[in-house]
């Protein structure tokens, strides 16, 4: 993978959904480090979010703002890009990262939770993409990266809505890539396996308490369950791939669903 050139995205504007922690925050940091102004989106205490914006802006010398849109709500998801345009005047990079899941057998899956999972994992990217594309077409350049999952390429037990919505997101990625294939706008998906986010560490903590083992042992056991490498992916590794997909080196990567999964899907 050719590295992005330092400052390659200088003057560009990015929107990263679900970016107040985890993968989204790592992506926002990576884009800001390339000179990109960033609109953060996600939940958090106002003081903490404001401090995060100041930290990113100071560290990288770019403009950083935050929009707290609840992307489960259609009107807020549909209006988010317009608010980015009002704030920054343009949008060049769209990273759809916000997501949620429900775990349990399909016959016990609450219909309301099914709708919420699809609203955030698939409907929200549809709304941000459809509202971002006109401006990208007018500017003659754009990058759309959807954060899917290995579950967008394979099945899984007790996560029917997550698997179905992430498969849908990979399909949306391919459709948009074909519709923009003759332009300088690309659309791709990244498909992480287990990532060392708050959810991973919380699950490891619960396993350690239940099995009376150390947290390090619990983390290794969880990682080895799915990842042949025996290691989880870091948010920074996912972010590096997203940043690469925004570079000119990746200009002809279109409609790809790229795993970052420790050989999960190689089996």
- Tell me the pLDDT tens digit for each residue of 67-100: 999 999 999 999 999 999 999 999 999 999 999 9
| Over residues 237-260, mean pLDDT | 98
How far apart (Å, rounded) are the C-alpha atoms in residues 196 and 194? 7
Q: Helical H runs in the chain?
A: 22-33, 46-60, 74-88, 111-118, 124-139, 160-179, 198-211, 215-226, 235-245
The fold of the 13-193+234-253 domain, in CATH, is: Rossmann fold (3.40.50)
Convert 183-193 to b/e letters by CB count within 10 Å (16 or more is b): eebbbbbbbbb
| Over residues 146-155, mean pLDDT | 98
What is the per-residue pLDDT for 203? 86
Q: What residues does each domain of the chain span?
A: 13-193+234-253, 195-232
pLDDT in tens, 168-214: 999 999 999 999 999 999 999 999 999 998 888 988 999 999 999 99
What is the per-residue pLDDT for 4? 61
How far apart (Å, rounded) are the C-alpha atoms in residues 51 and 134? 33
Beta bridge partners of 143: 93, 186
> Is the pLDDT reported for residue 5 higher than 70?
no
> Is the pLDDT reported for residue 65 higher than 60?
yes
Task: Check the CA dihedral 243-255-250-87 and report its sign.
Answer: negative
162 belongs to the catalytic site: yes
Identified catalytic residue from 162, 218, 257, 264: 162
| Over residues 248-254, mean pLDDT | 98
How far apart (Å, rounded) are the C-alpha atoms in residues 55 and 72? 28
What is the per-residue pLDDT for 2? 46
What is the per-residue pLDDT for 87? 98
Output phi, psi for 209, to 5 deg.
-70, -40
């Amino acid at each position: 993978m050719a590295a992005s050139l330092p400052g390659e995205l200088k003057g560009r504007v990015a929107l990263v959904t679900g970016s107040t922690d985890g993968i989204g925050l790592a992506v926002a940091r990576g884009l800001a480090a390339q000179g990109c102004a960033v609109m953060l989106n996600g939940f958090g205490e106002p003081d903490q979010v404001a401090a995060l914006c100041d930290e990113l802006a100071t560290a990288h010398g770019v403009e950083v703002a935050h929009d707290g849109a609840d992307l489960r709500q259609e009107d807020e998801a549909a209006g988010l890009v317009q608010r980015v345009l009002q704030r920054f005047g343009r949008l060049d990079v769209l990273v759809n990262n916000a997501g949620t899941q429900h775990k349990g057998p399909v016959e016990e899956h609450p219909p309301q939770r099914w709708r919420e999972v699809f609203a955030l994992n698939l409907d929200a990217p549809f709304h941000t993409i459809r509202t971002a594309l006109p401006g990208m077409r007018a500017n003659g350049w754009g990058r759309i990266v959807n954060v899917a999952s290995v579950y967008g390429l394979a099945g899984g037990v007790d996560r029917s809505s997550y698997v179905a919505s992430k498969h849908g997101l990979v399909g949306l990625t391919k459709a948009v890539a074909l519709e923009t294939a003759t332009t300088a706008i690309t659309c791709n998906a990244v498909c992480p396996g287990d990532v060392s986010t708050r959810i991973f560490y919380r699950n490891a903590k619960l396993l350690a308490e239940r099995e009376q083992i150390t947290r390090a042992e619990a983390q290794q056991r969880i990682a080895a369950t799915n990842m042949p490498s025996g290691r989880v992916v870091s948010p920074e590794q996912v972010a590096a791939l997203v940043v690469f997909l925004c570079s000119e080196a990746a200009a002809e990567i279109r409609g790809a669903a790229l795993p970052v999964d420790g050989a999960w899907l190689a089996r």
